[in-house]
Structure 1
Amino acid sequence: MSSLPALLDTVLGVVLVVLGLSAALVAVRLLRGPSGLDRLVALDVLVAEFLVGLVVYIALTGDSSLVPVVVAISLVGFLGSTTVARFVRRGTGR
């Protein structure tokens, strides 16, 4: 069982690398568009990736003091997404 923490650190390191690559691809979509909704979805995905990165950091360090930050950012991201979706729905005439 002594190899389990080393394996966990390796897996979490790989997760951080994959999140970084994904964030780079999402940043390209955020900058290139082509529409405002594409940029909005890219920003929402970027916030979600940031949250996952924070959770992985919490898992690596064992520092649970960042859990309220994760909850607050996720609530703000959810409220922002639903607000924009409501405005887009009103703009389409539905």
Structure 2
Amino acid sequence: MTYLATFLWGWLLGALLIGFCMGWVAVVYRGRSVPRAWIQRLSVLAVIIVGVAAAKLVPGRFGYWLDLGLALFGFYIVGCAIGSWLRDIVVTKQQARFH
């Protein structure tokens, strides 16, 4: 992971910025929620994938891709959360200002 942060910081920053932009422009639609069973299955799958990456069970190039993909996805999700949160703050202040 240190290698990824040191040499691929530009890609990680890009994933964060793209996530920020997507979180900012995303319109919140309150549709049907995902069933609890699917949330549990996807959570178990995510834990297994992160565990495999942390234990270095996948060697070589594919292990590198797994680590890189997880890091990029993590930065993207953090960027989405920050962008969505800031957009919510801005929209809430705008609505309070005009009401």
Normalised TM-score (structure 2): 0.36
